[in-house]
């Protein structure tokens, strides 16, 4: 049945599938690389081998997720040529250099020092190894800079002109790179990556504490992760609010879908839950708090919020996915803040590391960051529809002239291959976690299994030392 669907819909499904896989890995590695730098810095500063053990365990997990992120990212770039060639042709002059700079700066930086980070322990000086870790962590942030700049330009395009040939030409690179929504997306995404890592690490630490295994190392993981939950999770609420205000200004139709508001209102209510019905153009079974939506979006109880009916039906995003994804993202964020509150209370009661119910809660929260990142990404990308470049280029006009059967078959192939490849990667990560932060013996230089070639050959020895 999937082979008879619209090629544009299949291409969107295929890109949504591959990018949903991909975004999980950068979201994790951005935070994990920075966290590893902090852990290694603590080891250098204190000499406490607990930090070394924690580093050596998590750097292996970093290597696996970094590799899967690179592989899944390469697939996306090929899809621009296979399914979205019209889009690539039209906006290549703008987006091509941004993606090229990402490879030229971030990827080269990461690839150059990743080898030292993974294999340089005891083969370079500790300070050199730490410098490599910091460089890789910086590379992940530089990568995020360029990718989010490109994505933000598609949300709030500026600094370009459309030529007579229909192609987009850059006229102001600073306006393109630092477009009006970029700062908000950059901060919101990077903080989300840090929280994703924090809750994944805290879940593993909680698992060890609950099973009373690797207690010394688990306390380091758990305490550092809870610090992030206490201080950074509330900040994300502030950054998210600023991002929302920018979206309200630049993409009000997306905010209307997020809020499930159909009529333009002064003193608009906050719809907590409901069922957006696009056929009837209403949100059924809505549970509302009067005036709060206006207060949040305009900072006035009687501020005006535009409803979805302000736009023609074919210029609105799919409402239900945006509405529910937004609530999932916010709900998970509130659970993260609540985790921080619990952590402060238990720390005050001196029960942070041995409260069974809290350890179970943190284990359950292990995937929370991934869920929030995916939900937020759905809000951002589905909320931009029906445009691929907001208010400028329609998604339906950007697809390659390919048959639905070809897109459908490649989608099925992606699902099978991704299941096998990434399933194997995740299985290996689970095995690393199960093995735990086992202290590794210090291997001196030369003990890596590479045999030094003999300087004097056997033939020379046999001749009694005379050169042949």
Q: Terminus-to-terminus CA distance in the chain, angstroms?
A: 75
Using one digit for the tens of pLDDT, what is the confidence trace for 398-427? 888 888 788 888 888 888 888 888 888 889
The structure tokens listed for 44 are 């250098």
Distance CA 282, CA 260 (A): 8
Residue 27, class by beta-carbon neighbours within 10 Å (0-12 exposed, 13-18 middle, 19+ buried)?
Answer: buried
Report percent pLDDT > 70 for the chain. Answer: 93
pLDDT in tens, 166-177: 899 999 999 999
Tell me the mean pLDDT per 10 residues along the chain, length 468.
Answer: 71 86 87 92 90 91 88 82 87 90 83 86 87 92 92 93 92 94 93 94 94 91 91 90 91 91 89 87 87 87 89 91 93 94 92 92 94 92 91 89 83 87 88 82 50 48 46
Cα separation, 316 vs 241, in Å, equals 23
DSSP state of 120: -
Neighbour count for residue 467 (Cβ, 10 Å): 7
DSSP label at 136? H
Closest CA to 347 of 257, 442, 242, 230: 230
Asked if residue 415 lies in contact with residue 421, where contact means CB atoms within 8 angstroms, the answer is: no
> Would you state the pLDDT for residue 449?
45
CA–CA dist 326, 87 (Å, integer): 27
The alpha carbon of residue 355 and the mean position of all alpha carbons in its chain are separated, in whole angstroms, by 31
Name 251's Cβ contacts closer than 8 Å, sequence gap at least 6. Answer: 155, 156, 383, 384, 390
User: Do the Cβ atoms of 147 and 102 come closer than 8 Å?
Assistant: yes
């Amino acid at each position: 049945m999937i082979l008879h669907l619209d090629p544009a819909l299949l291409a969107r499904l295929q890109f949504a599938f591959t990018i949903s896989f991909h975004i999980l890995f950068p979201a994790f590695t951005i935070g994990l690389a920075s966290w590893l730098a902090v852990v290694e810095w603590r080891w250098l500063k204190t000499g406490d081998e607990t930090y070394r053990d924690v580093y050596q365990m998590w750097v292996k997990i970093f290597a696996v997720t970094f590799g899967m992120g690179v592989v899944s990212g390469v697939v996306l770039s090929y899809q621009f040529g296979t399914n979205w060639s019209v889009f690539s042709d039209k906006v290549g002059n703008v987006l091509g250099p941004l993606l090229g700079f990402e490879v030229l700066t971030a990827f080269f930086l990461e690839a150059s020092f990743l080898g030292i980070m993974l294999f340089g322990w005891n083969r370079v000086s500790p300070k050199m190894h730490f410098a490599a870790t910091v460089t890789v962590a910086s590379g992940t942030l530089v990568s995020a800079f360029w990718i989010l700049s490109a994505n933000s330009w598609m949300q709030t395009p500026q600094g370009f002109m459309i030529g007579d040939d229909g192609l987009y030409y850059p006229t102001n690179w600073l306006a393109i790179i630092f477009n009006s929504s970029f700062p908000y997306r950059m901060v919101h995404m990077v903080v989300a990556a840090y929280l994703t890592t924090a809750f994944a690490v805290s879940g593993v630490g909680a698992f060890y504490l609950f099973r009373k295994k690797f207690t010394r190392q688990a306390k380091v993981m758990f305490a550092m992760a809870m610090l992030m939950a206490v201080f950074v999770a509330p900040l994300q609420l502030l950054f998210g609010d600023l991002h929302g205000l920018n979206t309200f200004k630049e993409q009000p139709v997306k905010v209307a879908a997020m809020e499930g508001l159909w009529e333009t209102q002064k003193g608009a209510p906050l719809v907590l839950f409901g069922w957006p019905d696009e056929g009837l153009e209403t949100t059924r079974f809505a549970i509302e708090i009067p005036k709060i939506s206006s207060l949040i979006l305009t900072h006035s109880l009687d501020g005006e919020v535009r409803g979805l009916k302000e736009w023609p039906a074919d210029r609105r995003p799919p409402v239900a996915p945006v509405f529910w994804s937004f609530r999932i993202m916010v709900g998970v964020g509130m659970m993260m803040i609540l985790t921080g509150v619990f952590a402060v209370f238990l720390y005050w009661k001196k029960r942070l590391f041995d409260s069974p119910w809290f350890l179970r809660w943190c284990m359950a929260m292990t995937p929370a960051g991934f869920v929030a990142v995916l939900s937020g990404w759905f809000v951002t990308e589905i909320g931009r529809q029906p445009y691929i470049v907001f208010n400028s280029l329609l998604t339906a006009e950007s697809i390659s002239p390919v048959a639905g059967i070809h897109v459908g078959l490649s989608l099925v192939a992606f699902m099978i291959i991704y299941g096998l490849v990434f399933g194997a990667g995740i299985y290996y990560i689970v095995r690393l976690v199960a093995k735990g932060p086992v202290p590794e013996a210090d291997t001196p230089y030369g003990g890596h299994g590479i045999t030094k070639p003999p300087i004097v050959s056997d033939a020379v020895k046999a001749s009694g030392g005379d050169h042949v």
